[in-house]
Amino acid sequence: MGAGPFAQAQHSAQRLARLTGVERHEAAVVLGSGWSPAADALGPALTEFPVTELGGFPAATVPGHAGTARSLALGGRRVLVFLGRVHLYEGHSPATVVHAVRTAVAAGCRVVVLTNAAGGITAGLRVGQPALIREHPNLTGRSPLAGPPPPAGFPPRFADLTDLYSARLRALAQAAGQGLAEGVYAALPGPHYETPAEIAMLAALGADLVGMSTALEAIAARHLGAEVLALSLVTNLAAGLAGHGLEHAEVVAVAATAAGRIGTLLAGLLAQVLAR
């Protein structure tokens, strides 16, 4: 991103306004592996296009990530939905990985909802079950705030992550979801799945869920002042816990089965958030 990641996000937000015909979106949702059916539960698309048309977005390469952006109306407010994301393991920089959320905030989004497919570590988590992310250890070894400092007019790079995942939004989600599980999400770089020994280590560290996304996007969104909510869908039990091997096709299939139901939950939650 030759112009710098923050300038590139502003450029993409301007392009978004031209493509959608609206100057401002109020909330953004990033859908993880296999989550695309959740977009339909949020409401019909008013505009949809490949994210590459916004500039700064590479084409999607991972099955279960459509690589499109959708603008829709929910409760009279505009919501921006990214159907899929890109990952560090595809060879992208942290700035590219978080470009969607930076574009969303530049477009006016004050709430960013991140979703993912995750492996369940803690006993009692079931395949097909959604779980709110309460905190994360970022074990990717990367940060979207590394490198040159943000330009004038942006917050300093030393972001406080004490309240990274909004307690207010989690409380609203708990009310809407009638007792969603909550847990700690360990973010690893992938693309390989973890070994059973690594899962045992993560369990000892207090992780309930494990995946290959979300943490860098959450950091970037919170740095810019957005409220962040993150929701994992347990698509498999982590390595060594299920009695069989792990496959990405299984992850996508489980997510596709549950995504519509969870999309309905997200629609109700966002309607509450945007009404306040």
- Catalytic positions: 33, 65, 87, 89-90, 117, 212-213, 236, 248
- CB of 143 closer than 8 Å to CB of 136: no
- CB of 1 closer than 8 Å to CB of 95: yes
Q: What is the DSSP string of 75-126?
A: TTEEEEEEE----GGGT--HHHHTHHHHHHHHTT-SEEEEEEEEEE-STT--
Q: Is the dihedral of CA 83, 87, 93, 98 positive or negative?
A: positive
- CB of 107 closer than 8 Å to CB of 11: no
- CB of 134 closer than 8 Å to CB of 261: no
Kindly state the DSSP code that residue 171 receives in the 8-state scheme.
H
- CB of 83 closer than 8 Å to CB of 69: yes
By C-alpha distance, which of 166, 60, 51, 180 is closest to 114? Answer: 166
Distance CA 71, CA 76 (A): 12
